[in-house]
Amino acid sequence: MSVLILGATSPIARAVCHEYAADGHSVYLAARDVEEAERIAADVAIRFDVDAVGGPFDALDFDNHGEFVANVETAVGPITVALIAFGDMGDQHASEEDFASAKRVIDVNYTGAASVCEAIADAMLERGAGSIIGISSVAGERGRKSNYFYGSAKGAFTLYLQGLRNRLFEQGIHVMTVKLGFVDTRMTFGMETAIPVATPQQAAQAIVHAQERGENELYYPRFWKGIMGVIKAIPEGLFKRLSL
Amino acid sequence: MWAQKKISGWGRYPVVEADCIRPERRSELLAAFEDRGDEPLLAYGLGRSYGDAALLDGGRVVMTRRLDRMLEFDPESGWLRCEAGVSLEQIIHTFLPKGFFPPVVPGTQFVTVGGAIGCNIHGKNHHVDGCFGDHVRSMEILTGKGDIVECSRDVEPELFWATIGGMGLTGLILSVEVQLYRVANPYIEMETVRCENLDEFFVVSEESADFSHTVTWIDCAKRGAGMGRGIMMRGGHAKAGTQHEDGAVMELADHVMRMIDGRPFESNLWLNSATISIFNEVYFRKTPPGTHRTVVGYEPFFFPLDAVNNWNYIYGDRGFLQYQMVVPDNEATREIIDQISASGMGSFLAVIKDFGELDHGGLSFPMKGTTLALDFPNLGTPLLDLMNRLDDVVMSCGGRVYLGKDARLSEANFKTMYPEWEKWKDIRDKWDPDGVFQSDLGRRLGLS
Ligand SMILES: Cc1cc2nc3c(=O)[nH]c(=O)nc-3n(C[C@H](O)[C@H](O)[C@H](O)COP(=O)(O)OP(=O)(O)OC[C@H]3O[C@@H](n4cnc5c(N)ncnc54)[C@H](O)[C@@H]3O)c2cc1C
Ligand SMILES: NC(=O)c1ccc[n+]([C@@H]2O[C@H](COP(=O)([O-])OP(=O)(O)OC[C@H]3O[C@@H](n4cnc5c(N)ncnc54)[C@H](OP(=O)(O)O)[C@@H]3O)[C@@H](O)[C@H]2O)c1
């Protein structure tokens, strides 16, 4: 079995990779930062005695996503599981000042993600098997002034995955949407919050477990489902006055 | 991203505020170095040094724990090249199933390789194998000038020497080549020997020099004829084919213990002279007199305290201090235990061991002699006074105090205990003329 990890340099992605490698699966680690992807691949090979390959991937390089998937399959064989972990929070303020910046956030989190998912789906369709895991965010559940470019792109990705799941279900391909809350990464390091933050390892275990059980959707940490239920229930007339 | 955080060592004293960053990858660390501004900088591993070795009040602190890639391993020779944030726990987890073990481990597996070199840690096998640094072949160091320097015993040997036991003050270790050694299984064959007093300990310790690993729990509360009584554990990695009798039971016990956390028990009241005497009495009595052989897992042998997460919280929010010294003189050891037991301030976590000949020099701690390590609840001035009096005994015979456990040693006492400090400082100043790398410990001891 071969697992493709896109955005492999993210600590969450790396932790997911460890889970699959610990079960003996080969992994292809793709990232913009190829040097780091190769270091992570070396690490995985040493820790788990599996084949691990690092290679370049840019979500914005739309024209080459099909070729990229073909290259991966040449290197490690048919992709059985693909994790779409890359993402970019961007800078909301910069996005408001300059739309080019907003567009990049939209393109990385949505357009690029959808583009590469299509290429992966095409490859999996030929075999009628496979599993696609898309990492989205609870930020995609309701638009807020503090991060609505990122949020809307993740929200679009969530809807995209829903549609893709609907389309691929009959072909035997599993699509899972992961809606992450706070995970202890660069993003949360400086944050003072009363809400518990999951470790990348905890998130990874939950993700792999849910994928293996064929779940459609995973909130992690799980209590975020409740939090988002409340947030989504707030009437818009009130919500627009809040700073959440 | 830099973030203001309150940080402390394992003793939770002192607590300081620093601008911290936790790079997720090497390139992020290098970018953080460029981005540090005029503030001094220090590496913080897993914060298992007790006092202020990994602290830098008001400065910039780089938390290295996520820089944990293993880069190369040769299964023939056991050489591992890895980033400095890899922990010994990760190394054991990865390599014990393949039949390898780290060269030296301290009393906890939750230390980074960078920290193991920064404090040049010693283990139960010091008398045979020396310190962690003795098993390191090369290092890649980010120096204060911003250069990345590869060093070894042949290339830039001074930087290599000064960084081993250099308390993070010579630069930031990026990656390391360290030797792992073959073991047949995860078990330890060991003997427990009850020693009725300190004289008996010295005799048993000498007789035990052929065991690769020795350590003795010692009752520092007992006075009179039984002063210095204790239980020695001596043994080594088990031979192939050794069976572990109570494997399942121990595993279960271990599992249950791992779920216990010290934090809910945080209180300044748990540890007082009464509870400590009772604990020591019970512990001593549970081991019958004489010598007993057993086979145990490596964890209860090497890392008994790791079974309880955050056990450091039971000392309460005042925190605690450890006094660890080494003296080349049995009478000095007796005098020190005498003073501690008379003070009634010590706690139940006390160990004693004889070090071997291997001596790295510089700021490294181990030297030929007897080392005693003892935790004290932070009782303030009376405790600091006691420690100063203990320093006098230590200095009177040419001994020293372990910087990795220290939060209070004076500059003058330090300079007496570590006669090579000037040689070390000249090298460090050559590599870091502007004092980019600093720590609170370094400032206190006149090293920054
Ligand atoms: C329960 C317990 C038992 C212990 N038993 C022993 C023992 O038996 N023997 C022993 O020797 N020690 C022992 N120690 C102390 C511990 O092993 C050392 O303090 C060790 O250095 C801790 O590693 P760390 O990764 O937590 O480092 P930290 O405590 O975070 O840092 C220690 C020092 O290393 C420096 N450092 C860390 N990483 C780097 C890096 N990448 N580059 C440059 N400098 C760096 C820091 O600046 C600091 O000066 C024990 C500690 C505990 C809590
Ligand atoms: N951390 C959280 O609390 C949290 C919460 C909700 C959702 N998420 C989502 O979880 C995923 C992982 O997040 P993380 O916190 O681990 O973040 P991270 O460390 O910032 O990882 C994001 C990764 O995306 C990659 N990336 C960025 N732009 C890219 C591009 N154009 N092409 C290809 N790759 C690109 C980066 O790789 P390179 O550096 O190699 O370019 C980086 O490794 C992201 O999708 C994020 O949105 C995280």
According to DSSP, residue A109 is labeled I
Cα angle for residues B63, B69, B73 (degrees, 5° grid) = 140
Instruction: Give the closest residue to B111 by CA, choosing from B100, B123, B99.
Output: B123
Query: Residue B397 corresponds to which tokens in the numbers above?
Result: 């015979």
Q: Whose CA is nearest to atom 10 of ligand 1?
A: B121
CA of B447 to the centre of ligand 2 (A): 41
Q: Is this prediction's pTM over 0.95?
A: yes
Contact B137, B179 (CB under 8 A): yes
Using CB atoms, pick whichever of A33, A43, A191 lies closest to residue B71.
Answer: A43
Q: Whose CA is nearest to atom 20 of ligand 2?
A: A10
Output the CA torsion sign for B43, B46, B52, B55.
Answer: positive
Ligand 1 pocket check for B447: Cβ under 6 Å: no
Contact B337, B290 (CB under 8 A): no
Backbone region of residue B146 per phi and psi (left: phi > 0; alpha: psi in -120 to 50; beta: other values): left
Q: Cα B348 to the chain's mean position, in Å?
A: 18
Give the CA diameter of chain B: 62
Which of A9, A18, A39 is the mutation pick for testing B, counting most B CBs within 10 A? Answer: A39
CA distances (Å), B281 to each of A180, B211, B219, B294, B350, in order? 51, 27, 8, 22, 13
E strands present in B343-393: 350-355, 369-377
CA of B409 to the centre of ligand 1 (A): 17
Output the pLDDT for position A44.
98
Domains of chain B: 70-183 (3.30.465.10), 187-411 (3.30.70.2520)
Using CB atoms, pick whichever of A39, A46, A186 lies closest to residue B1.
Answer: A186
This complex has an ipTM of: 0.95
Output the pLDDT for position B248.
54
Residues B3, A189: C-beta atoms closer than 8 Å:
yes
CA of A213 to the centre of ligand 2 (A): 25
- The preferred substitution site among A9, A101, A178 for testing ligand 2, maximizing ligand atoms within 8 Å of CB, is A9
| Side-chain half-sphere exposure of B424, counting CA atoms within 13 A | 24
Ligand 1 pocket check for B164: Cβ under 6 Å: no
Query: Residue B424 corresponds to which tokens in the numbers above?
Result: 């070390």
According to DSSP, residue A196 is labeled -
Instruction: Give the closest residue to B276 by CA, choosing from B346, B341, B198.
Output: B346
Ligand 1 pocket check for B155: Cβ under 6 Å: no
Beta bridge pairs of residue A81: A3, A131
Output the CA torsion sign for B129, B299, B111, B177.
Answer: positive
Distance, in angstroms, between A241 CA and closest chain B CA? Answer: 29
Instruction: pLDDT tens for chain B, 448 residues: list them.
Output: 899 999 999 999 999 999 999 999 999 999 999 999 999 999 999 999 999 999 999 999 999 999 999 999 999 999 999 999 999 999 999 999 999 999 999 999 999 999 999 999 999 999 999 999 999 999 999 999 999 999 999 999 999 999 999 999 999 999 999 999 999 999 999 999 999 999 999 999 999 999 999 999 999 888 999 999 999 999 999 999 887 765 555 555 565 566 678 888 888 888 788 887 887 888 888 888 989 999 999 998 999 888 888 989 988 999 999 999 999 999 999 999 999 999 988 877 799 999 999 999 999 999 999 999 999 999 999 999 999 999 999 999 999 999 999 999 999 999 999 999 999 999 999 999 999 999 999 999 999 8
Output the pLDDT for position B261.
84
Cα Rg for chain A, rounded, in angstroms? 18
Distance from the first to the final alpha carbon of chain A? 43
Residues found in chain B: 448
CA of B375 to the centre of ligand 2 (A): 44
Tell me the pairing of strands B70-73 and B79-83: antiparallel
Instruction: Give the closest residue to B417 by CA, choosing from B427, B402, B438.
Output: B402
Between A191 and A210, residue with greater pLDDT: A210
Interchain CB contact of A39 with B (< 8 Å): yes
The residue type at B50: Y
Q: Cα B209 to the chain's mean position, in Å?
A: 22
Domains of chain A: 2-239 (3.40.50.720)
Contact A156, A110 (CB under 8 A): yes
Residues B22, A33: C-beta atoms closer than 8 Å:
no
- Cα nearest neighbour of A42 on chain B: B71
Output the pLDDT for position B307.
83
Output the pLDDT for position B247.
52
Interchain CB contact of B248 with A (< 8 Å): no
Work out which ligand 2 atom sits closest to the CA atom of A104: 31
Peptide bond into A221 cis (omega under 30): yes
Which of A186, A191, A192 is the mutation pick for testing B, counting most B CBs within 10 A? Answer: A186
